[in-house]
Amino acid sequence: MLPIVFKLKYGIAALLVVWLTACSTNDPTLARLPQDAVVLAFGDSLTYGTGVEAKDSYPVVLQGLISRTVIKAGVPGEVTSAGLARLPGALNEHAPKLLILCHGGNDFLRNLGEKQAAANIRAMITLARAQGVDVVLVGVPKVGMLLSPPEFYQKIAQEFNIPYESAALSEILKSRTLKSDTVHPNAQGYRKLAEAVAGLMKERGAL
């Protein structure tokens, strides 16, 4: 039989491991957004709302869901290197409290490489955080059999400890009834994306 002292030490150590594990897996939180806060939705055609009228783009729908000003800053066809060059101006112009970053799809379509996309997205998050702006990252799926976001999105979210929406776009683009073409949602699809982002914002304390 093990000595009582050893058992106590072992038990305390085990409890400590459980406690540390629980602490390390806490979901990232967001600062609560005041009513006059500005949210910057930044990205490419998925943020612009290609395939639908402007009123049906996800940033416009999101604004109605969260009752905060949401700036739609999406540029169709933009790659992450161009997004990185554009972001400082957008941050300075709009002074957002929260950045919703949805970028990378055009890098994948043009075979520019995941490494470049990851580096640019990491740099964009660093820029925002340096200005005290919270970030929500939206994973963009690669076109293919699995239609899922590359693993680097999850790794970056963990690295910066920021909320990550990993599933919404994949589920939308897997459904024929939610797409306007092979890579863009329709009005119903963009609404589902807006609802997913709004839900994540509420879950993590922004609303």
Structure tokens at 123: 């740099």
Q: What is the pLDDT of residue 13?
A: 39
Structure tokens at 134: 């919270």
Q: What is the pLDDT of residue 37?
A: 98
Domain ranges for the chain: 4-203
C-alpha 194/C-alpha 92 separation (Å) is 24
C-alpha distance from residue 193 to each of 2, 96, 99, 187, 201 (Å): 56, 20, 15, 10, 12
Query: Roughly how many angstroms between the first and final C-alpha of the chain, as a whole number?
Result: 55
C-alpha 70/C-alpha 207 separation (Å) is 14
Q: What are phi and psi of 32, to 5 degrees?
A: -65, 135
Topology of 4-203 in CATH?
Rossmann fold (3.40.50)
> Position of tokens 């599933």?
167
Q: What percent of the chain has pLDDT over 90?
A: 84
C-alpha 8/C-alpha 13 separation (Å) is 8
pLDDT band, very low/low/confident/very high, at 146 (cuts 50, 70, 90)? confident
> Which amino acid is located at 26 in the chain?
N
DSSP state of 176: G
Q: What is the pLDDT of residue 137?
A: 98
